[in-house]
Amino acid sequence: MARISETDRRARDARLAACVEAAARGDAAAFERFYDQTTGAAQALARRFMPGRADVEDLLADAYFGAWRGAARFDAARGSALGWLLAIVRSRAIDALRQRAAHPGTDRDPDDEAAAEDTDPADRLWRAQAGSRLDEALRGLRPAERWVLALAYFRALSHSEIARTTGLPLGTVKTAILRAQARLRAVLAG
């Protein structure tokens, strides 16, 4: 892996800090830029802690949600925005691992259970293909669309709760969810 120069690192840190500071003022587009520029590092760290892809996705959704809600607490004088985010990811991962250790067997991956129960290879192949197609379709969405879908489907928030949580107007939330669902349908139908 190529090392980044000190000048480039400082420029990146300033750019990310500006995104977090703008997000603290309610700028969702700035938070999308922050997400786009940090998701690779956050995923790499999450994968070190969590065994499954679903675990990593849930962990990252939770971490970015926490970053959005806690953006006002970010202090560039105490460290970089990337370091701040990675500390959130690490904290969420440790919490998840502690919870899993305290309650073994309650956090099983439904895909693993279904695969273990299915003896029909055709069913297993269909599940694997469907999962990879959905994953690919989700990656094709804009970060804001993935974000509101995750809040709606994984956190079971209503449209108005998503609007309050994100600071986005209710109409924007509804439009983003409808647009994301239409894109997913188009990709998955093809």
Q: What is the pLDDT of residue 118?
A: 47
Q: What is the pLDDT of residue 88?
A: 93
Contact 58, 154 (CB under 8 A): yes
Mean of the pLDDT values across residues 24-53? 87
Cα 139 versus chain centre, distance:
11
Q: What is the pLDDT of residue 168?
A: 79
Least confident of 32-41, 76-85, 120-129: 120-129
Which residues touch 27 (CB under 8 Å, ≥6 apart)?
none
44 to 50, 89, 90, 134: CA distances (angstroms): 10, 10, 11, 21
Domains of the chain by range and CATH? 1-105 (1.10.1740.10)
**Residue 153 clears pLDDT 90, i.e. is over it:** no
Q: What is the pLDDT of residue 7?
A: 92
The string of pLDDT tens digits covering residues 28-38 is 889 989 998 99
Q: What is the pLDDT of residue 103?
A: 65
- Alpha-carbon torsion 150, 128, 54, 104, what sign? positive
Q: What is the pLDDT of residue 116?
A: 45
**Residue 100 clears pLDDT 70, i.e. is over it:** yes
Its pTM surpasses 0.75: no
Tell me which residue of 82, 86, 63 sits closest to 4, measured CA to CA: 82
Q: What is the pLDDT of residue 114?
A: 46
